[in-house]
Structure 1
């Protein structure tokens, strides 16, 4: 039911056996289409601990065991009410202590836009921000999500929020930014909202904390043309609280992956 946060308690729990934790976030643009392009083979080869996926676009009951529980992974999903639309998922190597779905407000929950897996030391969330095709709806979502983030900062546990935030924060995060200052995803009010997240709320852009290179993009509106030219946007993030700043060890984008018009963003943490 939209507007209600749901918890799935996991009876069997496993501790992390290593200090290093590798987390991947990928907007798959429809998981079945991604599978047809080799997503499961790619997933099998990843030495990550958690892989968050967004824009699943399929009801979880339609996935089947091969996609929901591929070898070596346990998958958890939060479906949108509408068919073939939105939705998030989390693949875990180790069984989480609990899985939570929803943010408690309708704009997020009816479209399956947020879920988190709780582990012993940290919670990892998969998140999908509305694109902004409906500016009024996105504005309301930003207001309500900022309230959630404010409450999150008061919690004692640490969070890694992975996903498509659908806003390029700085000029370094967008090619041809001069021509896109009024474009959806780079509007002044959207960037100002990100300033609040990384300013007064003290959240950290994990990627930019350790990687200040230029031309680091995760999304290409016209991937066949713009990937080669490196004319993209960085719309995908891993956002953490200030206590994890010192734990961020490495971050990069894998542009070789072509399952959708997004690329995976990968961050390694030492917990």
Structure 2
């Protein structure tokens, strides 16, 4: 697919979502080289931790990408960016809620009848205050998306949700039952999310497979595969039959996360 090419119905598009834990760090660890060998049409990055003007983006342009960037107001924190070889019809920064938009958590791009939301959900691991923020975000985000779907039924929500849904999605569900990211109320929200008309593309295509998308930097968690599946590509129900394939790329080691991908028909 060439840059700014028109979108044709039935065309296959490959989407990658990847929490980089700092785009400059990921670039120093060979991200561009990996992308040059593993091409995708749309890249959705979370936790870029930078504004676009302090990052050398020429290597992405050389690969055929244009970008849209929603940085946090706080330097070195959060932020999302979407790179694509297809020109979006519309770009919307944020969701209209200042508390989240100032942290650079949601970036919307529309491609034909598809609305793509690149999202970085808050983490609650630093304590009760941020856990409360996380739960409020989940409630507000749910309402925002349900309203959006009234006019844009084909919605794909990618990114770091910071929630492992079921015991199969976490290496030690018993010991982590009181850990942020696997709390009952978080898991219940994700169940509500999927019950509301969204499909987990990875689980849809890989019902019983055990793979993770995040490993703590501590105690060699990645080498022993003690991980969590907290990054998702979920699609609204009307779009699910357009999922061709979905999976993880555990070979990519530019972050404490690994990329998640889906191939869909536009």
List alignment gaps of at least 5 residues for structure 2: none
Aligned-residue offset at 1:157: 4.2
Query: Is residue 243–residue 264 contact of structure 2 (8 Å, CA) maintained in 1?
Result: yes
CA contact (8 A) 1:13 1:97 kept: no
Match of 1:147 in 2: 143
Distance 1:213 1:52, change over 3 A: same
Counterpart residue number, 2:23? 31
Counterparts of residues 1-271 of structure 1 (less than 5 Å): 14-16=5-7, 19-66=11-58, 69-132=61-124, 133=126, 134-199=130-195, 201-222=196-217, 225-271=220-266
Do the aligned residues in 2 keep the contact of 1:23 with 1:48 (CA within 8 Å)? yes
Task: Answer whether contact 1:215 1:230 (CA < 8 A) is retained.
Answer: no
Distance 1:183 1:23, change over 3 A: same
Greater shift in the superposed pair: 42-51 or 180-189: 42-51
Note if contact 1:44-1:72 (Cα within 8 Å) is conserved in structure 2.
no
| 2:213/2:230 contact within 8 Å kept | yes
Q: Point out where structure 1 has 5 or more consecutive residues left out of the alignment.
A: 1-11
Q: Normalising by the residue count of structure 1, what TM-score does the alignment of the two structures yield?
A: 0.90
Count residues in correspondence.
Answer: 259
For 2:218 and 2:257, the matched residues in 1 are separated by: 8
Question: How many angstroms apart in 2 are the aligned matches of 1:267 and 1:99?
Answer: 21
Normalised by the length of structure 2, the TM-score is 0.92
Q: CA deviation at 1:65?
A: 3.6
Considering only aligned residues, what root-mean-square deviation do their CA atoms show, in Å? 1.7
Give the Å deviation of 1:219: 0.2
Could you tell me how far apart the structure 2 residues matched to 1:237 and 1:183 are? Answer: 19
Per the TM alignment, residue 46 of structure 1 is displaced from its structure 2 partner at its CA by 2.7
Q: Which runs of 4+ in 1 moved over 3 A?
A: 67-70
Partners in 1 of 2:101 and 2:133 — Cα distance? Answer: 14
Q: Equivalents in 2 of 1:112, 1:68: separation in Å? A: 21
Separation (CA, whole Å) in 2 of partners of 1:223 and 1:53: 23
